[in-house]
Every structure is written in structure tokens, then in C-alpha cells.
Amino acid sequence: MHQVRRIVGLIASYASLSILSRVVQMITAFLVVRSLAKTEYAWYSLANNLVGALVIFTVTGIGSGLMPLAGEVAQDPLKLGSVLASARRFRAALLFFGALVGLPVFIHLLLRSGCPPLSIALLVGSAIVSLMVSISTQMIATPLSLARRYNIPQWENILSSALRLVCIVSLVFAGFADAVTVMIITVLAPLPTVCGWMLPKAREYAAFGQPADPAATQRLKKYFIIGLPANITHLFEAQVALFIVGWMGNIDKVADLGAICRVALILQIPLAVASGVMLPRMSTEKNLQRLWKMWTGSSILAVVIGVAIVACGWLLRHQLLFLLGPAYAGLENELVLYLGFQAFSFFATVTTIPIQAKGWVRHSWIRPIAVFGSQALAACVLDLSTVSGAIGLMLAGSVGNMLLDSFLLFNGWRGRATI
């Protein structure tokens, strides 16, 4: 009973900080949507989408390997520092190759929409720097999460989000808010809190500056290669819709989809709790029975939360669109559809945490068949130049993804999914 109360107290503490962080982020997001012209917001959305795509390829790209490896040496600061150094070096290489693929498409869409060359250069540079900051933030937060100091990364997120909000409010009142200035603020806001506050605390648990461990690097490469099909399909499932709308539709549709995505930030609160608390706990848990109990409890809770979010979104759809501004009126159906997609993706993410925590990635090469097959079938009946069609394409990919994850979980619980 004491253990249950302790876990409940930990989750409640984590959830309260997550709620505070997401509330600040939602206020900032709504302010940006209402303050920028539709074309400017579309350019900003494309830049954020580029960052999201590269994050999937680099930060998430070896996430299934980093946590298991870091969890094995969590009690040894020197070895943990070597694992983190190996991950950081490997991700730098992934960033280079990912940028070679993603940047030409991003630049082409901006040119098609009439974005000035100087703005394109600044948006591209900001996106690359933003990704580098994300990589460093995750490296610094990993030892803190493994040590169950969850509140430190949370407070860093709250402080950096608050600083970003203050800067953007200042830009709006000064009349200087546009896609470029908002993106630059988004990049710079986390630097003081990450480097000046969170890094010194992380040094208590990991010896940063250690040389990379060749054995850890090889294991990370193996995890990445095996999980590469999964990461590519995640990229298409979650990020490609905005690019497709921009390619087949018009720049206003990009702004519509980007604005609707801001409303879905509310689902990031329970997702942050699940990934921030359950992922490190599952990665260090050695008892399979306790792992099963954690998984079943979190899965049931994910269903309840997802249903509640969609119901509230449907009841408050007019009020939510009012927050976005008059330029986005009439998107009630698209908003509810997107919340449904996000609720399903939230459930799928929570139920598959053991895959990432324990490295159950064997047979992940099947994932493209499941995801692309589902999306190809859906594309035959969807109008991909519309917001609803793009959301439907993402939902179809999530369904195919969930089918493969169910197979991996089944093998994982039987002890047949590790590499």
C-alpha cells in the first residue's frame, strides 16, 4: 500500500508540473496563431514540422536503444557519460544525413508559397539550431530521469516556456512578430535554463565529457538500423501530412492544419507524464510481473484519458476555435477529427512504452508494410488537398502502426523481441 501511495504521489507531482508547462505552451501557441497572418503562420508551421521530422530521425531514431543502454549503467556516472557521448556523436551524424533529405523539400515548399530567400535562410538555420538544442536537452535530461529526478527537466521546461511567452508577448506588442522572429525566440528561449540550470544538476549523475564507448556506439547503431523502418514510418505517419497539404493544397490549408495541431497540445500533458515517469521506470524494472502491472494500468488509464479529451473537445469545439481567431472559423469537424486521431495515437504510444524501454524492436522491418499499406489504401478514398484528408491519412498510418506494435508487444512479453 505504501508503494502504491508513493507511485500515486509521484505521478500527481509530475502531472501538476506537466499541466503547468503545457498551459504556458498552449497560451503561447494560441498567441502565436492569433498574432501572425495566415501565410506567416504557415511558414512557421512548416519550420516546426521540419524540426519535428528531424527529431523523429535523430532524437527518436535511437531512443529505443538509448534508454536500455543507459538504464543498464544508470548507477555508474562514468559509464553513463560514455553512453551519452556515444549517443550524442551518433545523433550528430544522423542530423547531417537527415538534413540532406529534409531541407530540399522544406525549402521548395517555402519558395512555392512566396517566402523571401532571407526568411528561408533564417528559418532553415533556426530549425537546425532548434534540433541541436533538442538533442542536447535530451542528453542532459536522461540521467535525471533515470535517477527519478523528474521534476528538474519539468521545471526547466516550465521556465523556458515562460521565457518564450514573455519574449513573444514583447514581440507582439512591439509589432515585430512574424514567422522568423517567433522561430528565433523558440530556439533561444531554452538555452539559459538548459545550460545554466539543468546541466549542473545532471552532472551529479553522469560524467559528461567522457569519450564515446565503441561497444555502446555499435549497439546504438544496431538498434538504429533495426529500428530504421519504424522511424521512417513514424516520420510519414506523423509529419508528412503537413507537407502533402502544402504540396497538393494551398498555403492557407497548411496554416489551418498547423493551427488545429496547437489545440492538441492538451494531450501532451498525459503523454509527458507517461513517457517521463513510465519510460525510465520500465527501462530499469527487472521483474516482468511488475512490468506487466505497470503496462496494464497505464494502458487502461490511456483509454479513459483519450475518451475524455475527445468528448471535451467536441463539447468545447466552438470555444477552442475562438481561441485560434476568426481566420480559422468553420473548422469544427476537422478539430474533432484531429483530436480523435491524437487520442488514438496517445493510446498507441502509451501501450507501446515497453517496446522502447526494453528494446523490443526485432521484426520492426515489417512496420513500413503495415503503415504504408494502410496509408496507400486510405489515399485511394481521401482528398489529400484538404485538412480532413491529411488527418485521415495520419490516422490510417497510426492504425497500421498499432497493428505492428501489437505484434512486437506479443513477442516481447514472450521474450522473443529483443536483439
pLDDT band of 181, cuts 50, 70, 90: very high
Sole residue written with cell 523571401:
116
Give tens-digit pLDDT for 66-92.
Answer: 777 888 888 888 888 888 888 888 777
Does the pLDDT at position 169 exceed 80?
yes
pLDDT at 417: 60
Q: Over range 317-332, report the average pLDDT.
A: 85
Do 67 and 283 meet the contact criterion of CB atoms below 8 Å apart?
A: yes
* Alpha carbons 344 and 355: distance in angstroms, whole number: 18
Task: Single out the residue of 281, 357, 280, 348 nearest to residue 64, CA to CA.
Answer: 357
Give the pLDDT score at 60. Answer: 57
- Other CB atoms within a 10 A radius of the CB of residue 407 amount to 16
Return phi, psi of residue 207, to 5°: -90, 90
Distance in angstroms (rounded) separating the CA atoms of residues 182 and 215: 41
The predicted pLDDT at position 353 comes to 80
Q: What is the pLDDT of residue 267?
A: 63
Residue corresponding to grid cell 526494453: 358
Give the count of beta carbons closer than 10 Å to the beta carbon of residue 180.
23
